[in-house]
Amino acid sequence: MTYLNELLNQTLVDIEESGIRKIANLAFDMTDVVNLSLGQPDFPSPSYINAAGIQAIQDNKIGYTSNNGLKELRESASEYIQKLYGLSYNPQQEVLVTIGASEALDLAFRTILSPGTEVIIPAPSYPGYEPLIRLCEAVPVFIDTSKTGFKLTASLINEHITDKTRCIVFPYPSNPIGTVLSKEEIQEIGQLLKDKDIFIVSDEIYSELVYEDQHYSIAAYPGLKEKSIVINGLSKSHSMTGWRIGFTFAPAYITKQMHKLHSYNVVCATSISQYAAIEALKHGTQHKEVVEMKNEYNKRRDYVYQRLVDMGLEVVYPKGAFYIFPSIKKFGLSSEEFSINLLNAAKVAVTPGNAFTEYGEGYIRLSYASSMEELEKGMDRLEQFVAALSSVNI
């Protein structure tokens, strides 16, 4: 007799659950834990966005919308990305409203990948890319960026391009490191790719959380828009994680195919969330509540960075997102051992670096999306833990 579990999709069976959740799930069962493991903003959604969602419910706007999203929302999203990044997309044919950036990524990969094709990914990287690529029976090709300041470069890309390369994932600002590429660095990559038949999936979900410079989209480089799928959304910039609103911006010939997948899979994004998103985009990123969130993240970043440096930890100064990625190699523990010991001994939850591919081993990721009070408590506990480890290793 055949056991039914042997008939399941083996590619899916072989995929491990996200390493981000391993420590977080342990922390949920404990008390008095400072949880710095998840990228969940501690701010509520801005009040004007909540009010728009409530109003939509009261007005009974609870039916299906068009598959690709409310016309007004697509128009607002198109105006938004034009104003911020100089990218021009037709809201009728080149903009799709998705259930968060996660669905947007899934649509993008399933539209452009075929079995056996290769996808270049800078590593360490967000763990959500690899499973989606493998489910397309494509092959992720990771590039170790640890020797280039965790930045993808044109020379690194060129070394890894083969005749099977179908796509490059461009995840900046990055999760887990907070790396931002300058306009000049992106233009050098653009020069390499402009004449190559390779797609670009540009994950720009943290684009509005850049603290010193202005975000520059790789799709703005001449000749790249026609081969780029830009992924964006409101989860991080507007603290709207649970509303689940994302966007794809891509040429019509790509969007047409993603639209098919989207309509058969989820039909449409939630109507109530779409009406709230319209209000969010009307105010952009200049509304007082949104500006205050970004300014607070900036303060938290500087505080956490300085505390880690004072502890003697090697760490790259993050210029975007709300993560920081210190090295713990000098303690001789794996990232998972360090994280579990830290949780048990000091009640601080962080994410092991190996959750972000093997190239993240030797690091831990901390999220500074928690309140300053929690960050101060967490840094105090981490400092005591590190001091104890250091005394043992002397």
333-387 pLDDT per residue, tens: 999 999 999 999 999 999 999 999 999 999 999 999 999 999 999 999 999 999 9
Between 326 and 8, residue with greater pLDDT: 326
Q: Do 106 and 183 belong to one domain?
A: yes
Q: Do 224 and 371 belong to one domain?
A: no
**Cα(20)–Cα(18) distance, rounded to whole angstroms?**
5
**Cα(320)–Cα(83) distance, rounded to whole angstroms?**
20
pLDDT number for residue 394: 53
Which residue, of 283, 318, 342, is where some domain finishes? 283
pLDDT number for residue 2: 64
Residue 193 has pLDDT above 60, yes or no: yes
Residue 121: CATH number of its domain: 3.40.640.10
Q: What DSSP string runs through 336-361? A: HHHHHHHHHHH-EE-EEGGGG-GGGT
Residue 24 has pLDDT above 90, yes or no: no
Residue 392 has pLDDT above 80, yes or no: no
Residue 222 has pLDDT above 50, yes or no: yes
- Give the pLDDT band of residue 25 (cuts 50, 70, 90): confident
- Give the pLDDT band of residue 7 (cuts 50, 70, 90): confident
Q: Do 249 and 129 belong to one domain?
A: yes
Domain assignment present for residue 58? The answer is no
Domain assignment present for residue 56? The answer is no
Which residue, of 265, 283, 301, is where some domain finishes? 283
Q: Which two tokens stand for residue 386?
A: 């590190």
Helix boundaries (H) for the chain: 10-14, 20-28, 47-58, 71-85, 100-112, 129-135, 154-160, 183-193, 252-265, 271-283, 288-310, 335-346, 372-393
For 31, 312, 350, 367, the CA distances from 379, given in Å and listed in that order, are 18, 13, 11, 12
Domain count across the chain: 2
Domain assignment present for residue 170? The answer is yes
Q: Do 99 and 200 belong to one domain?
A: yes
CA torsion angle 21 23 24 30 (round to 10) = 150
Q: Do 244 and 383 belong to one domain?
A: no
Domain assignment present for residue 53? The answer is no
Residue 348: CATH number of its domain: 3.90.1150.10
Number of residues written out for the chain? 394
Q: Do 273 and 297 belong to one domain?
A: no
Q: Do 300 and 153 belong to one domain?
A: no
Which residue, of 283, 302, 327, is where some domain finishes? 283
The stretch 297-312 carries a mean pLDDT of: 97
Domain assignment present for residue 57? The answer is no
pLDDT number for residue 40: 86
Q: Do 309 and 268 belong to one domain?
A: no
The stretch 228-238 carries a mean pLDDT of: 96
The stretch 119-128 carries a mean pLDDT of: 97
pLDDT number for residue 39: 85
The pTM assigned to this predicted structure is: 0.94
pLDDT number for residue 315: 97
Torsion angles phi and psi, residue 352, rounded to 5:
-60, 140
**Cα(380)–Cα(265) distance, rounded to whole angstroms?**
46
Residue 5 has pLDDT above 90, yes or no: no
Domain assignment present for residue 231? The answer is yes
163 C-beta neighbours (distance < 10 Å), count: 5
pLDDT, one tens digit per residue, over 27-58 is 777 889 999 998 889 999 999 999 999 999 99
pLDDT number for residue 266: 96
Q: Do 304 and 278 belong to one domain?
A: no
pLDDT number for residue 1: 47
Q: Which two tokens stand for residue 218?
A: 């790789």
Q: Which domain holds residue 140?
A: 63-283
Q: Do 143 and 276 belong to one domain?
A: yes
Q: Do 81 and 163 belong to one domain?
A: yes
pLDDT, one tens digit per residue, over 160-181 is 999 999 999 999 999 999 999 9
Q: What DSSP string runs through 71-98? A: HHHHHHHHHHHHHHH-----TTTSEEEE
Q: Do 205 and 322 belong to one domain?
A: no
Domain assignment present for residue 55? The answer is no
